[in-house]
Structure formats: C-alpha cells, structure tokens
Structure 1
Amino acid sequence: MPAPAGSVIAAVRTALPPYRYAQEDLTEAIGDLCLPAGADRALLRRLHASAGVRTRHLTLPIERYATLGDFGRSNGTWLAAGLDLAEEALSGALKEAGLRPADVDLLVCTSVTGVAAPSLDARLAGRLGLRPDVKRLPLFGLGCVAGAAGLARVHDYLRGHPDDTAVLLAVELCSLTLQRCDDSRANLVAGALFGDGVAALVARGSATGGGGGGGPEAAGPSVVATRSHLYPDTERLLGWDIGAGGFRVVIDAGVPGIVRDHLGRNLRAFLAEQGLTTDDIGTWVCHPGGPRILSAVTEALALPGHALDSARNSLATVGNMSSVSVLHILRTLQDAPRPRPGTWGLLVAMGPGLCSELVLLRW
C-alpha cells in the first residue's frame, strides 16, 4: 500500500481575465494579426474549428493586440495583469482554506508567458501581507507541465515540513505571446488553442490536519506519490524560441506520437509501484493540450471515452491555459458531484523537455 500522504490540497481557486470570446469571434481577428493581407485563411479556419475550444478569456480586448508593439510592452502587460489576477486567485484560495496570508510558509510561482526580476512572488508578498520570512521559489521553463510539477514539488517540500502550508501559483497569459505577422503553423495552432488564466492551490502538511479553517468539506484530495520523466532526444518538440519579438512557440506534430509510444508504459509502472492499475483510477486530471493529445492519452492508456471529459470540458470553456489548466480542472472537481471519499485520482501533464509529470491523488 502507498506510504502515508505528505500533503492535502486545502483549496484551489482560478482567476480569469474579464474579456471572454467565442472561438468563432476570434478566428478572423487572429488571422488579421498573424497572416499577410490577402492570405488564404483556410488552414487558420480549420485549426480554429478543430481545436475543441468554444470560448476563451484574453488579458486584453482582442483589438488591443495589434498595438502591443515589441516584447517589452507585451511583457509589461503580463506583469501588471498577472499580478492583479494572482492577487485575486491567491486571496480567494486562502480564504477558501480558512487561512491568512501570514500562514503561508512557501510560495511556489510558475509562469512561462513572461519574465520579471523581482519575480511575481516577491512583488505579491507585500500586496498580500505574506510574512517577511516566507520561502519563495519562482519557476520558469516548465510550460504546460508546471501545474503538475509544481504540485509535486510542493508535496516534496511538505513531506519534509509537515507543519507547514505551501502555495502553488500559476500565471499564464498565453495570448500575450502570440507572434504578430507570423503565419507559421505552430503560431496558428497556438492562436487556436491557448487562453489566459491564473490559478492558486493551497496545500498543507500532514501535521496541520489538512483542511485549515475551511473544514473537511473545503479540503480536496491528498497527494500520495509523484513521478517525473524526461524523454531523450525530444528537446525540440515543445517550448519557445526566444528572440527580439519575445516567445515564439515551438509545437511539433510528433508530440502525440511520443505520448502514444511512452506515456502508457511509464504511467503503468508508476501505478504498479503503488499497488494500482489504471482500472483503479476513478478520476483523471489530464492537461488539455489539445484534441490530438487527449486522443493519444486515451489510446495509450486504453481509457473509456468519458475518462478525460473534465479535460475536454476545460479545453472547450477556457482553452489550453498551459500550467493553469490542471489546477483549473481540480477546481471544477471541488464542485458537485465531487469524487467520493476513497477515490483514486491521477493528475497527468506533459511539457517542454519533452517530459511528463504524474501526481497520484486520493480523495
């Protein structure tokens, strides 16, 4: 049987920007930003129609993106808007957990859509009233896997500090990385899939009782075990090329093939170490990388068609929000009907490296 859990998810809260658009209302506007005048838009329209996205939230009104100019202005918008949304998400998560900002011992902050020094976590400390001795860990470069990997590292910390409270904050304003006047397939795919959002997760060590002042009904699952895996010779399949224009997305068509070839074997071996199989998992929390990725995961694990419905629903309503997405899905699972006590869950994500992260949960 698995070892005793080292952490309990006490609360998760998502904050979304105010500008919400239907997918069909974004298609031509993104075409205006990315394609040369008079270019054929057939591929753009196919990508938007097949992305599995119905609505998305953007940091700015869509007409503002043409005026962003250089990377400095985009990054400045990321910093200002990201801080406001981060404050909203983190304040809400702490309140939901029945905790105060001064109760936070570790703040892990991840983003792959902007850069800042001092980092977001340092700038938030005074705004929120965190303790001057709060431990901070800013993360960059993990991309879509960072929600899962960040939760895993928070769990590692709490196993060694069972009296502590830790927060994972994910800030991903993906729309600000869209490259104007770039008609590459990767940029058009990103323009069809990604949305903006921020999520905050509060976790507590085993000696705290887990749920904080929010009571048992506010607490989420325990984290039981985690596993990281890097796939060799895949560094150029996913990530960013960073230049004068900012973050230029790299998305290779070979990523679903890596999922089909490798994820099933790694995941089954991880579960076997815990005395489990895929049949024991009652709740799947999978990063919604896109319809092809979700189909590859379903195929690799021989899952029933409905197993990844939470990921497909998240993709449809808010798009792919990079590291925020798996935390957003966890948030939706807190609403009725919640998983029954004793239900096993598995949180799965992949990101640049190419890598995967697995987090075993139990409600």
Structure 2
Amino acid sequence: MSPSTTTEPPRTGVLPPLARIIGVGTATTDDSYSQQEVLDAFRITDPRIRSVFLNSAIDRRFLALPPQDGEGKRVSEPQGDLLDKHKATAVRMGAEALEACLKRAGAELSDLRHLCCVTSTGFLTPGLSAQLIRELGIDRHCSRSDIVGMGCNAGLNALNVVTGWAAAHPGELAVVLCSEACSAAYAMDDTMRTAVVNSLFGDGSGAVALMADTGPADEAAIAPEGPRILKFASCLIPDAIDAMRYDWDRAQDRFSFFLDPQIPYVVGAHAELVVDRLLSGTGLRRSDIEHWLVHSGGKKVIDAVTVNLGLTRHDLRHTVGVLRDYGNVSSGSFLFSYERLLDEAVTRPGEYGVLMTMGPGSTIETALIQW
C-alpha cells in the first residue's frame, strides 16, 4: 500500500508520535480593507508604491488603522500608542482564537493545562499568556510560556516546544496561540522599505490544540483525534541573518520591519534542503506528501517555494487563499491554512502533511504530520 493510504507509521527513522493536533481556531480584528482602500486611507499617490500594493496578490486584510485627524488624514502613532494597540488587539483576537480552537477540540477553558503564546508585533511584560489567563479566567495554575520576537517562523518553533510538553504530559491539553497585531508594527513614511511592509501584513490570531495519546486505555475527558506530529526540521541561513529584521528606526522614533527584496529567492533556494532533511530516514518522498501548509509570506515567497519544491498551485491553494483574504498574518498564517484544509474535509487516514514557516534568521521551520 502507498504511504497515502496506509495507517501504519513511517517505515524507518521517525520518532514515535509525540502528540496530535486536535483543534484549531482563528480570529481577526473587526475591520477589513482592500488594498485600494488602504491606499486611499493613507492618501498614497506615488505610482511605485501603489504598484507594490496592487500587485501583491492580496485582496483584503484585517487592520486596525491609525486614527484620523480633523481633516480625515491618518496620523502617525507614537511607539507607546502602538504598544497599547498591540496589547489590546493581541489579547482580544487571541481570546477569540483560543475559544474557537477549544470548541473545535471539544474542550473547555478548564481543560487547558499549558498555554504557549507567540507574538512578534509588540512587547508585553507580563506576557500575553498571563494577560489571557486573567482575561478569560483560566486556572491560575495553568502552565504557560511566551515566545516573543522570533517572527513569522515562530508558530512552528512553538509547536515544536509544546509538542515536547504534551509528550511529557500525555492526556493533558496544551494550546499554542499565535497573536499578531501587525497594525501595531506599522510605520508611516514614503520609503519603499515601509511600502513593502505596509502592503503585506494583516492582523490575525491562530490557535492550535495538542494532546499526546495515553494508550489504548485512555479514559481522558478528551479523546485525542487528529493528525500525529511525527518530526521537525529547521534550517538557519546565517548569510541572510539581516534579511528580515525588526529594528529601531531612529528617524521615526519607533520600531520598523525590514524585508530584503532577495528574501523570496533565499527562502526558495533553501526550501528543498530543509524538506529533504525532514523526510530523511522516513522512507517518504516529496511526492508522498498529500497536504502542504506553507506560511503565506508573500506572492514571491510562495512562487519561490512552489518552483523549488516542484509543487502545484493546488498544493498551495490554502497558502495562496490566506494571502489573498488576510495578507501575511505572521506567525499564525499556517494555522489559517490548516483550518481551511480541515474545513474541506478531504484528509484521509494515513495521509501525510508538511507544515512550513519561514522568518527572521533567516530561518525555515518544518513539521511532518500524519492523519
């Protein structure tokens, strides 16, 4: 039988299943805008910048835009206001995504034993996990962790760490929550650097629930169902460590994000390397992977991954669709794609999937899962 139809684990070299993905949920801010509406809101007339927005393969994004002055012009927000926006937006979206995820998993807030929160669009101390525990009335003894500042690849970094926690606590529920208020990381100027960033990112949160099997006699309140997480692989590209970065803009007195124009090609050139490492020792080939859930990093990034891995547009239909409808929602993007795959109800027992994210470092993260 082929790997896409058998329910047996991979043939050689893969660690025993560490955990299952048993639920997913997403949320956004309230207001969405077309790219044209964003251009109009910021009164952008430069044809070069307009071209960046209108040729991004993005139709709409959810954003919390800056306030308007008396003449209807969007005003630049100081860093303190942006941090306030991040806190309010990330907590609200995060709460909605977490509750949607638990509902899909058939679980309650009282079942939660570990909460890992991921964000790169603002800084909070105490972290987002503590804010949500207070906001939602989660048991104050709930174990928690926060991953801050790792960027768009951080969702899989967190999944890797929390998979280990789940393996050490079989039958107990853990959630990874990625909450990115990208509107709180925007700068306002007329540079191409800013235009590329402002044309791409949107606000969104994604949550994924994990639980490790306890064995045949499992009597847990929640019966783990969903794909098993089999293996992780990552690749840091030291020569491109400055290609994606979030640093202090002294001219504007705030943080701003930088994307090197060459980053799509750098990511594409290393995608094959890390995927082959992921599949090494499993007896699987890329052609055995039925489902590909790749970070919606941008049109050129998606195209580069498609070409270098020999994938089809159908393979990356959810990645493309999420970019079109939400833009790049940073660390949670792959969870928006995963949710769409589940809504299709096309996965079959025994099929394999690859999750892939990429971000500052420059880094590519991957995970192998099996239904």
TM-score by length of 1: 0.91
- Name the CA distance, whole Å, in 1 between partners of 2:103 and 2:215: 17
What is the letter of the counterpart of residue 280 of structure 2?
Answer: A
- Name the CA distance, whole Å, in 2 between partners of 1:250 and 1:230: 18
* Offset at residue 305 of structure 1 (A): 3.2
**Residue 35 of structure 1 corresponds to which residue in structure 2?**
none
Matched, 1:227 2:239: no
Residues 289 and 354 in structure 2, CA contact (< 8 A), matched pair in contact too: yes
Residues 99 and 212 in structure 1, CA contact (< 8 A), matched pair in contact too: no
Matched, 1:21 2:28: no
Which range is displaced more, 338-347 or 92-101? 92-101
**CA distance change for structure 1 residues 196 and 271 in 2, over 3 Å: closer, same or farther?**
same
- Name the CA distance, whole Å, in 2 between partners of 1:187 and 1:147: 24
- Name the CA distance, whole Å, in 1 between partners of 2:254 and 2:24: 30
- Name the CA distance, whole Å, in 1 between partners of 2:226 and 2:322: 19
The count of corresponding residues between Structure 1 and Structure 2 is 353
Matched, 1:241 2:247: yes
**Residue 8 of structure 2 corresponds to which residue in structure 1?**
none
* 1:14-53 pair list within 5 angstroms: 14-32=26-44, 41-53=46-58
* Offset at residue 220 of structure 1 (A): 3.4
* Offset at residue 30 of structure 1 (A): 3.4
- Name the CA distance, whole Å, in 2 between partners of 1:117 and 1:27: 34
What is the letter of the counterpart of residue 43 of structure 1?
Answer: R
**Residue 348 of structure 2 corresponds to which residue in structure 1?**
340
Residues 10 and 211 in structure 1, CA contact (< 8 A), matched pair in contact too: no
* Offset at residue 121 of structure 1 (A): 0.7
- Name the CA distance, whole Å, in 2 between partners of 1:186 and 1:208: 52
* Offset at residue 20 of structure 1 (A): 1.2
* 1:248-259 pair list within 5 angstroms: 248-259=256-267
Which range is displaced more, 68-77 or 165-174? 68-77
What is the letter of the counterpart of residue 201 of structure 2?
Answer: F
Match of 1:259, SS state, is helix
* 1:1-363 pair list within 5 angstroms: 1=11, 2-32=14-44, 41-60=46-65, 63=68, 66-67=74-75, 69-180=77-188, 182-207=189-214, 219-243=225-249, 245-363=253-371
* Offset at residue 60 of structure 1 (A): 4.3
Residues 9 and 221 in structure 1, CA contact (< 8 A), matched pair in contact too: yes
Q: Write the deviation string for residues 19-62 of structure 1: whole angstroms up to 9, x where unpaired.
A: 01122211232354xxxxxxx61111111121110011113477
Residues 97 and 211 in structure 1, CA contact (< 8 A), matched pair in contact too: no
* Offset at residue 112 of structure 1 (A): 0.5
Q: Write the deviation string for residues 305-334 of structure 1: whole angstroms up to 9, x where unpaired.
A: 321111001100111100111111111111
What is the letter of the counterpart of residue 199 of structure 1?
Answer: G
Residues 234 and 363 in structure 2, CA contact (< 8 A), matched pair in contact too: yes
Match of 1:66, SS state, is coil
- Name the CA distance, whole Å, in 2 between partners of 1:335 and 1:214: 21
RMSD between aligned residues:
2.2
- Name the CA distance, whole Å, in 1 between partners of 2:49 and 2:314: 29
Match of 2:42, SS state, is helix
Residues 68 and 74 in structure 1, CA contact (< 8 A), matched pair in contact too: no
* Offset at residue 213 of structure 1 (A): 6.0
Residues 187 and 256 in structure 2, CA contact (< 8 A), matched pair in contact too: yes
- Name the CA distance, whole Å, in 2 between partners of 1:66 and 1:220: 45
**CA distance change for structure 1 residues 211 and 26 in 2, over 3 Å: closer, same or farther?**
farther
What is the letter of the counterpart of residue 89 of structure 1?
Answer: A
Higher percent of residues as helix = 1
* Offset at residue 204 of structure 1 (A): 0.8
- Name the CA distance, whole Å, in 2 between partners of 1:281 and 1:62: 46
- Name the CA distance, whole Å, in 1 between partners of 2:199 and 2:283: 40
- Name the CA distance, whole Å, in 2 between partners of 1:18 and 1:99: 26
Structure 1: segments with no counterpart, 5+ residues: 33-39
**Residue 6 of structure 2 corresponds to which residue in structure 1?**
none
